[in-house]
Chains A and B, each alone.
Chain A
Amino acid sequence: MSELKERTKPAAKKNSKEWWFAFGVIVVATLLTRLYKIAEPEHVCWDETHFGKMGSWYIKRTFFFDVHPPLGKMLIGLSGYLTGYDGQFPFEKPGDVYENVNYLGMRLFCTLLGAATVPFAFVTVWELTESLEASFLASTLFLLDVGLITLNQYILLDPILLFFVMGSVLGMAKVGSQTYKAFSAQWYFWLVWTGVMLAGSISVKFVGLFVVLLVGLHTASQLWNILGDTSQPLTHVLKHFVARALCLILLPILLYVCFFYVHLKVLNHTGNGDGFYSSAFQSQLIGNSLHNASMPREVSYGAVVSLKNHRTGGGYLHSHWHLYPEGVGAHQQQITAYTHKDENNKWAIKSIAEIEPEDKDEVQILRHGQYVRLEHLVTKRNLHSHKEPAPMTRKHLQVTGYGENGTGDANDVWVVHIDGGVKNQPVLTVTSKFRLIHHLQKCVLTTSGKQLPKWGFEQQEVSCNPNFRDKNALWNVEDNFSPKLPNVTVQVYAPSFWERFLESHAVMLQGNAGLKPKEGEVTSKPWQWPINYKGQFFSGNQYRIYLLGNPVVWWSNLGFLALFCSVYFFQLLRHQRSPEVRSHEHKKLAAGVWLLVGWALHYFPFWIMGRVLYFHHYFPALMFNSMLSGVIISYILEVVKELLAEKVAFVFRHCLLGLFASSLAYSFYLFAPLAYGMTGASGNDPNSTMQSVRWLESWEF
């Protein structure tokens, strides 16, 4: 910290020795803090179990489903591939020991990306304020936050996300400070850089959207300034606009689509994610039963089929020997929707004529508007519905399996209704979307998506909905066995890249929306984050890692945030009172406003999110807050210097910086074991060494 003194001279020029010295100190210190003990613990930590696994799947090229876009996991896979990891380690659960596994390459890759945020912060604040002091303070806050160190050291998406977020902000600041040399090669470089970083952020996690918003707002405000310069012709504004639209809108979209293209190209083997996708999608995966399968093009009476529901992530129409329990509608056989492939998903299509057509009869193709019975192949019961409430959705009718050996009653009759179909249009395998409408009850076969209780083996409810427009009432034939019809390969239905791209998004969105906290589950709440209320276990047992921010950094950050808001409001008030006072346009305050907007954009949206939230979601916001703290401290020092006598100001400045630096350094020393690993007694134990720093009851290390 002794270097700090030299750095306090204001108005240091860029590229001066001082600048490079300060920058060098930060880089070296960053590398030291981030790479220290990077190989420990030598077992799977926290979400490494997910992302390590997904990295392995990329290496093995097996298809999977995840709620996040692919870039982060692809990069993890790539880094593993390049550093000699073979993708064979199962990453089953946290705590699994890495034996003879080349995991270090992936960790190093993530750590280095995460480490880059510190010098990025330095340069960003420099570009925004041209104050070496502010840059140094801001990046020191990054450097000494144990939470950032912990989050950056493992095979996770977060270091990659933070890298891209900070990279975008850096690009934004660079572009902003170079407005005077617009359209130069350097300017274009930074514009493209920003675009690439934005694409990266949003392709790692969807929360990258917030930084896109920030850059969008910043760009709009720049264009607004350019528009206000009436000395320039309108074409000038247009040029600026087009350059930005190309680099900041078009380029990111292109890159985003490219990442998905690579993702879908690489993952071409069947894996555990198949069931979430439509039949057509699955037919593209090597090893899937639909891949290159050959079956009849049309569905005929007498065929044995499986029916897949068309809602995203919908299951197959299923039945089994178990009955609905007493008190749940009629005591008849259960009908459910089941997401896995199974013999019990097979149904025979029969005509409503009581006599089976004899073999010599011509094959009858199933067509739009025709009547059918569906007989469950294993239990020989017919798909049936009647005036009893469905088990979960009480407004729908119950659907049961009814009859003996295929003989039921009039309530087994369904009408096939192809979506948008015309009379006599044949039902085609996989491609035809159709409804099954109950002839007598005038309701439509749907799956509500609700899980049945234990008696229904937690499969999805199937019911008959009187509202024909239910979105979940569409089905398609997936498997089709019909000896009488010629087989064709299913390859003909291959969906295009765009269809698969869109379907991936629909499934991802549904997956994200489905990440609701379970009943009684304790989740992290956004109000807890800025005050560092509770951390997160990364590793338990002997070698404990606990993700928790450095409380000195976090709490002082909050204080400086409040200070900035009041200072800025006060300056606005002065301006409103006398318009000639424009002190609110001070460079540091203007920079602070953007950082504040960045913080707010990365924090407040979580308040209205219904999904499960975690402590680590706050880290992007934290980075903005840390930069803001650096900026506001140096602003205060500058103002104080103007207000007080030189001597007093000098003393004040040094006292403040000294106090700040020493408390930061000391707190880092105190809390570093959280990131680098604690051994011995646990924190709850009064004898533990960490007991003394357990400042809040809620910290559970």
Chain B
Amino acid sequence: MGMLQPTQDAELINRKASKKGKTDKDLLKRNKIIESEPDTEKREMETDSKRPTQNPTELNLQPVKFQCQISFQFDLASLICLVVGIATRFYNLTQPHSIVFDELHYGKYVSLYMKRTFFFDSQPPLGKQLIALAAYIGGYTGDFKFVAIGAAYPENFPLFAVRFIPALCGALLPVSVYYLLLQLGLKQLTAATAAFLILFDNALLTQSRFILMEPMLLLFSVFGLYCLLKFIRCRESPYTFAWFAWLIVGLFSLTAAVCIKFVGLCSLLLGFYVVWRDMWSLVANKNLSIWSLVSQALVRAVVLFAVPVALYLSLFHVHLSILNKAGPHDSVMTSAFQASLEGGLASITKGQPLQIAHGSQITLRHSHGRTCWMHSHAAVYPVRYPDKRGSSHQQQVTCYSFKDVNNWWIVKRPSRSDLAVSRPIDAIKDGDIIQLVHGMTSRALNSHDVAAPVSPQNQEVSCYIDYNISMPAQNLWRVDIINKDQVGDVWHTIESMVRLVHVNTSQALKFSGKQLPDWGFNQHEIVTDRVVIQDDTVWNVEEHRYTKSDDQKERERDMVHAEMIPTRPTTLSFWDKIVELHMKMLFSSSDTLQDHMYSSQPLDWPLLSRGIAYWVNTTTNAQVHLIGNVAIWYSGTIAIFSYCVLLVWYLCRMRRKIYDISADEWARFDLVLEIALFGYGINMLPYFCVERTLFLHHYLPALVFKIVLLAAFTEHALTVARSCRWSNLIYWPLQILFASWLLMILYVFVQFAPLSYGCSSFTVQQLLSLRWRDSWDFIMQRSALDVDMLL
């Protein structure tokens, strides 16, 4: 295979042409045509055909004027693309004036941006940010609730502004593709053909008219690739401004694509491939010293790493700094994350069940003074203390100053043995007798007439272990709610201040304030004290959840995974946040697998077996349905297949030292292969490996590359036909074929355009007549049909 080195720039072609003087008259003619009528493809092609027959002696008549005409001509062709693009994309943009398909999601996100409320989405933020920006400029305040597809927007909703960015990107896409093809060294006619195909593909049009991400994704991908192709054109003069500019802008654009949807990564990888393929070909250049090669490789590597990472991170920085308020959509994040949002802490605290009941899992916080939580762990009190006193040798109970899984206790009524909370809940009231079971060890909180380890004047508190030594369990506690006048006599999370009074001895559970020695891991001592009324005997519930299962293993697993509420609003660093966000983004998407009426499989896409119903007006049958231009899609699939067959054919022939096409033509063929076919493959193949619900619009990035390949293939076919032995015979028919093919595409586009614009009503008959394939499910009134029509 040849190098990734476009042999000719379109400008170059023409400059060369002007030197060789092959085409001036012919080009002049073409200019006139373009000036006179916009749809020039057919005529252009005819004039093209005359090119080789031109007399080479008529050269260099007016070189200066000629140059300026060329640039004018360029602008005109792309200008036409732009104008038609804007016209098709912006026509009646605010119709239908109701929520269409995924506008439901993206619109909701835009509202949340306006309100600065945090939300979680498994895709990066750039696309939503751009749309939100447009909405902000359009004066949207975020008050509209996106409830359901089909709900009408209010009159004052700036729908045009919100749909503006996708439509604009959709309008710019044909122009970008046009320039990309010129950059690939293809003819202007070919570039215009590709732009024509992009313009008149119904799926690309439909997708560009609503609040959807794909138009931006496609534009940034194509533009990025264009820049990188420009960049490798500067290979002879590294480190110049242009070299850096094209490289950085290209990477910037490709990274922007990644920041709109992660699938943009495919295009970014293609960009990396372009850059390194070029580097690889530089290695063969003996004029460059090893050190200059190494340094250039290093510079490329640094830029290739730095630009994407910097842009990606800064966009997330913007995202996180805008969305600084808590809202209903942040419950997927950890408590620490939620508490870092404005109002987040209050909302998680509120999110807990209020009434403590039989089976509640709680953490008990020492309410006044030192912050610590009642704790126990699988370690026992030492048999003898240094001062010769003995202990009960039972499991330690301490007060621990950190949130820990061993802080969980389960509230239990002495009379019941099950632990799962069942409805109606059995709430604990002031004066009730309860037991407290330690969550991880399932031992009950106990106290007895044994001196406490550090405060011998008080009783020891332990988790009871039955040693069978006539020391019975004394594990009943009475709940005294101190502030029941304010909060009522049912034990409430957080608000109720309680004392736990040991039933057998009438002493209260107390934080003694003293630290245990090494055997107690320097945690604080908990005792019971005869003096009931004092601040250190006051406790309150902080974390609270209901036990779901009676199975001990499962319960423990639940507790290990349960999160503790932060003690105060947290300030997470940007890094902590972004790491957490990405863990959630990468691992949450897998469980959203569900059936959707209009989902499809990658194999359905090349042959367009299914569309997606986006919106329907149930009375008039007017509808928006995502469906491609069949003529383009099928010819594209044929082109890809033929391209591969041709590739194998050429390779085999070249292996046998037979060269069917010129070196130039082969280089172009190869470059198209490496950009368009690789681009198609890399945007298509990953979908065969993912396990999620897929839709037709996932195919659009691959479609753009397919169209590039299709256009390039037509040029290749025409070039080969013209240079082959029977060119007189087949070239003209081929051209006519080509022209009628373009007309057919236009015809199909017009047929299906009402499904993109959603403005015209349909009768069932009309819809049925558009159902060119059985599997296309347009929405229609069922009652009017009989069974066979639906099958």
Contact = CB atoms under 8 A, between A and B. Distances in A.
A608 B657 CA distance: 40
Contacts of B783: 442
Contacts of B774: 469
Interface string B749-789: 00000000000000000000000001101000011000100
B787 A576 contact: no
B284 interface: yes
Contact of B777 (A234, A417, A467, A578): A467
13 contacts: A224-B655, A227-B656, A234-B656, A395-B595, A395-B597, A442-B782, A467-B597, A469-B775, A469-B790, A577-B283, A577-B284, A577-B286, A578-B286
A230 interface: yes
A395 B691 CA distance: 21
Contacts of B1: none
B791 A469 contact: yes
Interface in B677-699: 689, 691
Contact of A417 (B284, B691, B775, B787): B787
Nearest to B282: A576
B597 A573 contact: no
A222 interface: no
B280 interface: yes
B595 A576 contact: no
Contacts of B777: 467
A610 interface: yes
A96 B627 CA distance: 60
Nearest to B651: A224
B572 interface: no
Contacts of A437: 787
A228 interface: yes
A579 B286 CA distance: 11
Contacts of A576: 280, 283-284
Contacts of B656: 227-228, 230, 234
Contacts of B782: 442, 466
A395 B596 CA distance: 9
Nearest to B774: A469
B332 interface: no
A573 B284 contact: no
Contacts of B689: 608
Which A-B residue pairs are the 3 nearest by beta carbons? A608-B689, A468-B790, A576-B283
B788 to A, nearest CB: 9
A227 B286 CA distance: 31
A610 B655 contact: no
Contact of A573 (B283, B652, B657): B283
A8 interface: no
Given A469-B791, A578-B286, 17 more contacts: A227-B656, A228-B655, A228-B656, A230-B657, A395-B595, A417-B791, A442-B782, A466-B782, A467-B597, A468-B791, A469-B790, A573-B283, A576-B280, A577-B283, A577-B286, A579-B284, A610-B691
Nearest to B789: A468
Interface string A569-595: 000010011110000000000000000
A643 B774 CA distance: 71
B283 A415 contact: no
Nearest to B598: A467
Interface string A73-106: 0000000000000000000000000000000000
Contacts of A230: 656-657
- Interface residues of chain B: helix, strand, loop or mixed (majority): loop
A393 interface: yes
Contacts of A573: 283
A468 B283 contact: no
A647 to B, nearest CB: 32
Nearest to A443: B782
B787 A415 contact: yes
Contacts of B597: 395, 467
A579 B782 CA distance: 70
A442 B787 CA distance: 8
Contacts of A468: 787, 790-791
B600 to A, nearest CB: 13
A610 B652 CA distance: 38
| From B280, B597, B787, residue with most partner A Cβ within 10 Å | B787
Contacts of B657: 230
A227 B648 CA distance: 13
Interface in B652-680: 652, 655-657
A572 B174 CA distance: 40
Interface of B: 280, 283-284, 286, 595, 597, 652, 655-657, 689, 691, 774-775, 777, 782-783, 787, 790-791
Interface of A: 224, 227-228, 230, 234, 393, 395, 415, 417, 437, 442, 466-469, 573, 576-579, 608, 610
A442 B789 CA distance: 12
A608 B687 CA distance: 11
Contacts of A579: 284
Contacts of B791: 417, 468-469
Contact of A393 (B284, B595, B655, B775): B595
Nearest to B288: A577
Nearest to B283: A576
A442 B782 CA distance: 8
Contacts of B787: 415, 417, 437, 468
Given A395-B597, A468-B791, A227 B655 contact: yes
A227 B280 contact: no
Nearest to A468: B790
A241 B284 CA distance: 35
B148 to A, nearest CB: 14
B652 A227 contact: yes
A391 to B, nearest CB: 14
Nearest to A420: B791
A444 to B, nearest CB: 9
Contacts of B595: 393, 395
A563 to B, nearest CB: 22
Contacts of A393: 595
B599 to A, nearest CB: 12
B535 to A, nearest CB: 45
Contacts of A610: 691
A395 B775 CA distance: 19
Contacts of A417: 787, 791
A139 B791 CA distance: 61
A417 B789 CA distance: 13
A396 to B, nearest CB: 10
Contacts of B284: 576-577, 579
A546 B531 CA distance: 60
Nearest to A448: B595
A241 to B, nearest CB: 11
A527 to B, nearest CB: 15
A610 to B, nearest CB: 5
Contacts of A234: 656
Contacts of A224: 655
A446 B775 CA distance: 18
Contacts of A467: 597, 777
B549 to A, nearest CB: 13
A137 to B, nearest CB: 33
B686 to A, nearest CB: 9
A573 B782 CA distance: 66
A230 B653 CA distance: 11
A533 B582 CA distance: 25
Nearest to A228: B655
A132 B419 CA distance: 69
Nearest to B293: A577
Nearest to A574: B283
A234 B653 CA distance: 11
Nearest to B689: A608
A576 B280 CA distance: 8
Contacts of A608: 689
B352 to A, nearest CB: 24
A573 B689 CA distance: 33
Contacts of B286: 577-578
A217 to B, nearest CB: 15
A307 B691 CA distance: 32
